[in-house]
Amino acid sequence: MDMEVSKDEEVTQIKMGRPHVVILGAGASIASFLKGDKNGKKLPSMLNFVNVLGLAPLLDKAGISHMGRNFEDIYDQIHKDPNLLSVRQELEDAVYDYFKTLEISDTPTIYDHLVLSLRDKDAILTFNWDPFLVQAYRRNGMNGRGFKLPSLHFLHGNVKIGYCHKDKVTGVIGAACSHCGQRFKPSRLLYPISNKDYHLDEFISAQWNDLEQLLKNAFMITVFGYGAPKSDVSAIDLMKAAWGDKNARSLEQTEIIDIRSEDDLRATWEPFIHTHHYEVHDNFYNSWIANHPRRTGEAYWNQYLEALFIEDNPIPRNLDLPELWDWFDKLREVEETHSS
């Protein structure tokens, strides 16, 4: 019996129907745009948020200290003070205006590789406000090749995504609802406060309902650049409830892509890890997604359920977009044959 599955054999397989769920945090966007966006605009972390967005004059004028402070703490202070309502609105407007101007690079990014490497049964859940994931999704999904891409879900809102409250439909801001023809209204952005009322906003609530169903059914979760900050305690609780008892997830795999230490990451994500069923990578290109594009479920099945040796099929990192689509075509063609 052949105990190895080659990359060519893996390409021809369609075994897994359950979703691979990817959770993105700010670290994923920072890693994807280390030199900034198309125009050199930087992606902020909570630690350098004020400097990157140039918010110091606004905070100084309001008498709010910010030197060496995390943006979470600064915003929480402003949010709790009813006398700072106008400052808060001005701050939120400045944040929205900064993020909505960001543009994806012309050359393929990690986000292009990510969306192309998952199928339509899979899902990406992002906490990020920036538009890069949507921009990558649109240019890869509208290229005429017919790639079926994963669903996208915006847990804290997004500057590119709107919502039709009448028909409960999500779409890109500026586009029209396919049901009523009205333009999509911008989604609300959730800011870093500890008590976020996810259920009070219809759009946000729907995103979290999607998360619940997806995590319950997932065979693997990949957490990419999400640090589970203290302001997201309620979010983590909702995710734990959806994942359920880790001892009942004895076959599922948890993958973490982050530059923090393994001990730190293991402690953070312990509620999602069954014994030794986890991996930590400090680079996206070492992940299951990058090494088994559009076949993470099949690779998982072969290695963990059939105890076979598997060969990697890594995404080529030096191709332009048309060349990248050519490379992915062999995977798409198998999927189309299988579904017909």
Residue 258 near residue 228 (C-beta atoms within 8 A): no
Query: Per residue in 258-278, is it b (16+ CB within 10 Å) or e — as a string?
Result: beeeeeebeebbeebbbeebb
Q: Which one has a higher pLDDT value, 40 or 243? A: 40
Distance CA 286, CA 249 (A): 24
- Which of 164, 118, 91 is CA-nearest to residue 284? 118
- Amino acid letter, 280: V
Q: What does the pLDDT read at residue 339?
A: 77
100 backbone dihedrals φ, ψ, rounded to 5°:
-75, -15
Based on the number of CB atoms within 10 Å of its own CB, is 236 exposed (0-12), middle (13-18) or buried (19 or more)? middle
Q: What does the pLDDT read at residue 333?
A: 95
Task: Tell me the average pLDDT across 315-340.
Answer: 94
**Domain assignments of the chain as residue spans, ordered by start:** 4-38+107-155+190-339, 49-100
Judged by average pLDDT, the poorest of 84-88, 210-214, 262-266, 274-278 is 274-278
174 backbone dihedrals φ, ψ, rounded to 5°:
100, -25
Task: Tell me the average pLDDT across 127-140.
Answer: 96
Q: What does the pLDDT read at residue 159?
A: 96
- Give DSSP secondary structure letters for 268-280: HTGGG--TT-EEE
What pLDDT digit, counting tens, does each position of 22-67 carry? 999 999 999 999 999 999 999 998 889 999 999 999 999 999 999 9
Q: What does the pLDDT read at residue 274?
A: 67
Residue 167 has pLDDT above 70, yes or no: yes
Instruction: Give the confidence band of 275 by pLDDT, cuts at 50, 70, 90.
Output: low
- Reported as type and span, the H/E element at residue 219 is none
Distance CA 221, CA 118 (A): 12
Query: Cα 129–135–136 angle (5° rounding)?
Result: 110
Q: Which one has a higher pLDDT value, 281 or 245? A: 281
Residue 201 has pLDDT above 60, yes or no: yes
Q: Which one has a higher pLDDT value, 277 or 118? A: 118
To the question of pTM greater than 0.85 for the whole model, the response is yes
Q: Say which residue the tokens 């919502």 belong to.
A: 163
- The pair of structure tokens assigned to 41 is 């605009």
Residue 254 has pLDDT above 70, yes or no: yes
Residue 282 has pLDDT above 90, yes or no: yes
Task: Tell me the average pLDDT across 184-207.
Answer: 83
Judged by average pLDDT, the poorest of 27-31, 56-60, 86-90, 223-227 is 223-227
Task: Tell me the average pLDDT across 131-147.
Answer: 94
Distance CA 93, CA 188 (A): 12
Q: What does the pLDDT read at residue 340?
A: 65
Residue 232 has pLDDT above 90, yes or no: no
Query: Cα 5–8–9 angle (5° rounding)?
Result: 45
Residue 29 near residue 109 (C-beta atoms within 8 A): no
The residues pairing with 170 across neighbouring beta strands, listed in sequence order, are 163
Task: Tell me the average pLDDT across 327-340.
Answer: 91
